[in-house]
Amino acid sequence: MEEQHFQSSEKVRDFVIGMSDGLTVPFALAAGLSGAVDSNSIIITAGLAEIAAGSIAMGLGGYLAGRTEIEHYDSEERREYDEIEHKHEVEIQETKDIFAQYGLDDQLQETIAREMAKRPKQWVDFMMRFELGLERPDKNRAHQSALIIGISYIVGGLIPLSAYFFTDSVMLGLKSSVIITVFCLIAFGLVKSKLTGQPLLKGALRVTIVGAVAAAVAFALAKLIA
């Protein structure tokens, strides 16, 4: 029977980052403005501006993080190639030490390490993974991360803001936004928990509470200051 493993953890992480911030930040902004202004058009304009700026900032952050991951891996890989050439016996001993952790005896450690040393590329790949704990990143990772985070943020941000497009008053827009967003936060929390293997109820409550508290604090501060 073929084993089933989840293969898209990085994409899910990007989706979660973008969607969670998209749902909570514009929601909190709209709620805060609802306590300070009496015009839906102002909230919509400010909300759209925040979504645009937020999606670009979040996407850029994802891109830079992806590029940093790639550049770090490439730098360490070059260092490993230099070490197997100029510190050959040190790398042999480090390879043997790795196998020792798995219970192989000295003779097997020596034999396997010497055989691996005949294949520099495979040897470096092995040391990158088992000595440094680094997996080779996808070369398209940075662009994919930026795209997924940015789009997820936009989708998430438009959800709480959408209520103000179809209501006549700020308070009605706020109430509708709260209902829509809380429902979406619960649904998002369930999906997130399912994808990441966490308890469904706990994950849904955590996401919902964070979003609700952020909006409530923003609304209260706006009312206090206004």
Give pLDDT tens digits along the chain (226 positions). Answer: 444 444 457 787 888 888 888 888 888 888 888 878 888 999 999 999 999 999 999 999 999 988 998 889 899 999 989 988 888 888 888 888 888 888 888 888 888 888 888 888 988 898 888 888 888 888 888 898 999 999 999 999 999 899 899 888 888 988 898 888 888 888 877 877 776 677 777 777 877 787 777 777 777 776 676 5
State residue 140's pLDDT score: 84
Cα radius of gyration rounded to whole Å, the chain? 25
State residue 222's pLDDT score: 66
Is 207 within 8 Å of 185 (Cβ atoms)? yes
Which residue bears the tokens 């102002």? 42
Rounded distance, CA 30 to CA 219, Å? Answer: 8
Nearest to 147 by CA among 69, 68, 55: 55
Is 177 within 8 Å of 31 (Cβ atoms)? yes
State residue 221's pLDDT score: 74
State residue 48's pLDDT score: 94
Is 70 within 8 Å of 141 (Cβ atoms)? yes
CA atoms within 13 A on the CB side of 199: 4
Is 164 within 8 Å of 43 (Cβ atoms)? yes
Q: How many residues does the chain have?
A: 226
State residue 44's pLDDT score: 92
